[in-house]
């Protein structure tokens, strides 16, 4: 993979007869993933599991592994194969609550996976059957909690609640070598107290079930610093979790886990797209909703942006723009608004920051698009949660990136 000092250096240094790259570009920053993972390893008082789905690129896997993350949250057999082949001494936790029977068998017998999540009696029965009644299972029961504090809510699909949760906990306790509970407060969670509320709710279910619990997995949801979504310092989240964990009705030596995805890899990537046409306040790009900008289209995420131009120009006033992707589909649109120089035009490039989480992972080949250039960029992310600076500085930097050319 080519290395460049920045996305701008790529644009300035590629192409024929002054043109830049024809394809959109994934700019990987493994050093940013290493820094984020190192922060979690040093500050979280338990085991850190990287949520592979957020960015399964080998360079990112290697980066978090190098920082000391040896546990991985995997949700499919291909993810298990990826991590087992790349990090042979890693601990794999199969945290998808609904799995194919064949996937359970292969995970257990071929890859040595012993940690499995369930959220129903039916899935628990499937797990026991397909592992041959194994007695060395670490079973994590996923419980439903509120995701009211998150930008992207994850409470509608998985998680047992009420009497069902009590029953599944009791059934799992009877067959598990170790029993755990897990939950997910939602993606890009903006309030540290969301974990305290969730852990109190989970505690009530544990008391009702009357079981001993060996593991508490607080899931993911840890945020990145996007424009308009500036979270509190991450250390506030850690302190809230530590305090709530001390009050939970679990074994005194119970293990504490977390599953950050976005927080470890968002800053480790940016994305460069070219303007193919301008129509007033709308820009038509060579990537969009079916590509690396999925979250901007479907989740309303406003990535930090800056214009990259082959030929230098003076600073221009900023103007709000709507963005369209390259496919024929009318939902291939990013409403934004994205503030860019008023004179932006065909042939200019836009760098979208913090696309390291889910950007490349969600890109498709729809309508014949979906090919990318990949590079390693050596510069810093546009915004960061990990700078050795006061929290207010992180907020200022985040807001200022909407005002930069």
Distance CA 113, CA 108 (A): 5
Positions of E strands within 213-260: 215-217, 255-258
Q: Is the pLDDT of residue 217 over 90?
A: yes
Q: Any alpha helices (H) in 181-233, and if so which ranges?
A: 193-209
Contact between residue 310 and residue 20 where contact means Cβ atoms under 8 Å apart: yes
Average pLDDT of the residues in 260-280: 97
Q: Which range (123-137, 236-250, 312-326) has the least confidence? A: 312-326
Cross-strand pairs, 189: 150
Average pLDDT, the chain: 90
| pLDDT digits 0-9 by tens, 147-206 | 666 555 555 678 899 999 999 999 999 999 999 999 999 888 999 999 999 999 999 999
Positions of E strands within 88-247: 91-94, 115-118, 138-142, 150-152, 178-182, 187-189, 215-217
Query: In the chain, what's the furthest Cα-to-Cα distance?
Result: 72
Q: Which range (38-47, 139-148, 258-267, 311-320) has the least confidence? A: 311-320
CATH 1.10.540.10 fits 2-28+266-403, yes or no: no
Domain ranges of the chain: 2-28+266-403, 31-265
Whether the predicted model's global pTM rises above the 0.85 cut: yes
Q: Which range (113-117, 145-149, 220-224, 230-234) has the least confidence? A: 145-149
pLDDT at 348: 94
CATH placement of domain 31-265: 3.20.20.10
pLDDT at 313: 63
Preceding omega of 233 cis (within 30 degrees of 0):
no
Query: Which residue in the block uniquely carries the two structure tokens 């293990």?
Result: 255
């Amino acid at each position: 993979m080519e290395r460049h000092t920045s996305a701008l250096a790529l644009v300035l240094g590629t192409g024929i007869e002054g043109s830049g790259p024809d394809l959109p570009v994934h700019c990987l920053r493994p050093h940013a993933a290493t820094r984020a993972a190192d922060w979690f390893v040093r500050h979280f008082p338990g085991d850190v599991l990287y949520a592979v789905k957020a960015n399964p690129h080998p360079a990112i896997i290697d980066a978090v592994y190098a920082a000391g993350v040896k546990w991985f949250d995997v949700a499919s057999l291909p993810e298990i194969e990826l991590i087992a082949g790349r990090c042979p001494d890693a601990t794999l936790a199969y945290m998808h609550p609904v799995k194919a029977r064949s996937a359970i068998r292969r995970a257990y017998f071929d890859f040595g996976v012993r940690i499995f999540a369930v959220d129903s009696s039916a899935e628990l029965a499937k797990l026991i059957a397909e592992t041959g009644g194994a007695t060395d299972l670490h079973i994590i029961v996923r419980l439903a909690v509120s995701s009211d504090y998150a930008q992207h809510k994850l409470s509608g699909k998985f998680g047992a609640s009420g009497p069902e949760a009590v029953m599944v906990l009791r059934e799992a306790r009877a067959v598990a070598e170790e029993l755990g509970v897990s939950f997910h407060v939602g993606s890009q969670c903006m309030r540290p107290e969301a974990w305290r509320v969730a852990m109190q709710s989970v505690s009530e279910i544990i008391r009702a079930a009357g079981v001993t619990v060996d593991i508490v997995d607080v899931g993911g949801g840890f945020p990145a610093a996007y424009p308009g979504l500036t979270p509190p310092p991450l250390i506030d989240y850690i302190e809230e979790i530590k305090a709530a964990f001390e009050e939970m009705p679990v074994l005194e030596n119970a293990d504490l886990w977390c599953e950050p995805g976005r927080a470890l890899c968002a800053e480790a990537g940016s994305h460069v797209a070219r303007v193919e046409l301008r129509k007033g306040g709308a820009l038509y790009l060579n990537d969009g909703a079916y590509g690396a900008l999925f979250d901007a289209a479907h989740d309303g995420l406003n990535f930090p942006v800056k214009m990259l131009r082959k030929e230098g120009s003076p600073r221009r006033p900023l103007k709000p723009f709507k963005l369209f992707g390259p496919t024929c589909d009318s939902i291939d649109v990013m409403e934004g608004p994205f503030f860019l120089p008023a004179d932006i035009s065909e042939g200019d490039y836009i760098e979208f920051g913090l696309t390291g989480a889910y950007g490349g992972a969600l890109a498709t080949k729809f309508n014949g698009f979906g090919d990318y250039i990949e590079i390693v960029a050596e510069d810093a992310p546009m915004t960061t949660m990990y700078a050795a600076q006061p929290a207010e500085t992180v907020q200022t930097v985040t807001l200022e990136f909407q005002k930069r050319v």
